[in-house]
């Protein structure tokens, strides 16, 4: 096995995947011999590998990897996330509290330590945190023959493209979000006033009132809504306006603007964690109902009107692959639903 410095290892592209490959080699005590195979030369295993790569391109699930598989020297980075490492390359942000984000994503609200249900909750959080939740743009990329061509519009406002980044910006949710922010601002003031263990508390109300955490600023949101350049495919970067840190909560990323209050007024870690996670739990549940749930409802109605069913999605790649393998021309799979 090659020896390279930890620093160089982390700089390598896909170092997590290389670590896994080396782990598999070591774990199974494999002896590897490298042979060059000419591309498209009907080599059986090369063709299988090619097909797997093609299938992989359509997977929208984020990669969840158990950290025990990583090379020891990668752990400096991986340790930030005890259970789940978020491969985060697409979000530009300034103000995320990664320590609490990790705690929140791994938080188990259920009674049992592991379950299918817990996994689903965590996968949902990671998809939203990595902006991979199946909104219109992602579904269209994954099922190009099933969804109409062109930009799929948000089914709530009917104006802007339906994407992960749009959820916090959509004009339709603003009035509701604004009242919710006010409600949780008051809740936070009461919570900290009644339970803090700090001796310096006279400023609780004024500092929470002054925070952008609980303010909805329409001008900032409108600015972020401006249509991007025509070649938007190249801009994978999602920017959350830093003046609106509450948007991060929609993506299960914890803003420093919020955690700062818990750090300021709770010196005992266990109290701080307990009160913060409970607060987050209530806040994000209500926020989700106003935004993601409302979006899902109208989006599903729209899908139904175009006869896009979950069964069709389930069979989509399976059918495409088998039709290619038997060299049959793809039949109705190439048919596009009229827009």
Q: Answer whether 100's CB lies under 8 Å from 276's CB.
A: yes
CA 68/CA 61 separation, integer angstroms: 20
Residue 153 CB, nearest distance to Zn ion (Å)? 8
Q: Which is nearer to Zn ion, 211 or 291 (CB)?
A: 291
Residue 173 CB, nearest distance to Zn ion (Å)? 8
**Contacting residue, 91, 154, 177, 189, with Zn ion by CB under 5 A:** 154
Both tokens of 176, joined, read: 């509701």
Q: Answer whether 190's CB lies under 8 Å from 261's CB.
A: no
Q: Which is nearer to Zn ion, 120 or 158 (CB)?
A: 158
Q: Answer whether 279's CB lies under 8 Å from 293's CB.
A: no
Q: Which is nearer to Zn ion, 101 or 140 (CB)?
A: 140
156 binds Zn ion (CB under 5 A): yes
240 binds Zn ion (CB under 5 A): no
Binding segment toward Zn ion, per CB under 5 A, in 44-52, 89-97, 147-155, 296-304: 147-155
Q: Which is nearer to Zn ion, 6 or 171 (CB)?
A: 171
157 binds Zn ion (CB under 5 A): yes
Residue 158 CB, nearest distance to Zn ion (Å)? 7
Residues 170-199 that bind Zn ion (CB under 5 A): 170
290 binds Zn ion (CB under 5 A): no
Binding segment toward Zn ion, per CB under 5 A, in 14-22, 169-177, 239-247, 281-289: 169-177
135 binds Zn ion (CB under 5 A): no
Residue 166 CB, nearest distance to Zn ion (Å)? 6
167 binds Zn ion (CB under 5 A): no
Q: Which is nearer to Zn ion, 81 or 160 (CB)?
A: 160
Give me the residues that bind Zn ion (CB under 5 A), please: 154, 156-157, 170
């Amino acid at each position: 096995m090659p020896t390279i410095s930890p620093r160089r290892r982390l700089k390598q592209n896909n170092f997590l995947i290389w670590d896994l490959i080396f782990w598999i080699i070591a774990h199974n005590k494999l002896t590897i011999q490298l042979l060059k195979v000419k591309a498209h030369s009907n080599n059986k295993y090369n063709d299988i590998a090619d097909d797997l790569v093609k299938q992989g391109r359509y997977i929208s699930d984020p990669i969840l990897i158990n950290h025990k598989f990583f090379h020891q020297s990668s752990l400096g980075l991986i340790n930030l996330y005890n259970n789940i490492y978020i491969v985060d390359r697409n979000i530009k942000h300034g103000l995320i509290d990664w320590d609490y984000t990790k705690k929140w994503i791994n938080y188990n609200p259920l009674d049992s330590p592991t379950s299918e249900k817990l996994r689903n909750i965590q996968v949902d959080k990671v998809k939203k945190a990595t902006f991979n939740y199946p909104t219109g743009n992602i579904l269209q990329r994954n099922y190009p023959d099933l969804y109409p061509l062109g930009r799929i519009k948000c089914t709530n406002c009917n104006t802007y493209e339906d994407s992960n980044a749009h959820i916090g910006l959509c004009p339709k949710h603003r009035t509701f979000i604004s009242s919710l922010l006010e409600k949780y601002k008051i809740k936070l003031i009461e919570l900290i006033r009644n339970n803090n263990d700090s001796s310096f508390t006279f400023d609780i109300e004024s500092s929470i009132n002054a925070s952008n955490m609980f303010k909805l600023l329409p001008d900032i949101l409108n600015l972020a809504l401006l249509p991007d350049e025509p070649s938007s495919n190249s801009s994978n970067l999602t920017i959350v306006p830093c003046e609106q840190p509450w948007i991060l909560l929609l993506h299960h990323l914890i803003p420093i603007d919020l955690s700062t209050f818990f750090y300021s007024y709770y010196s005992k870690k266990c109290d701080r964690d307990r009160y913060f996670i409970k607060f987050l739990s209530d806040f994000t549940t209500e926020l989700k109902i106003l935004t993601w749930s409302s979006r899902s409802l109208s989006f599903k109605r729209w899908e139904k009107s175009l006869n896009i069913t979950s069964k069709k999605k389930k069979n989509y790649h399976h059918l495409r692959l088998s039709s290619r393998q038997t060299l049959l021309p793809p039949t109705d799979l190439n048919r596009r639903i009229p827009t």
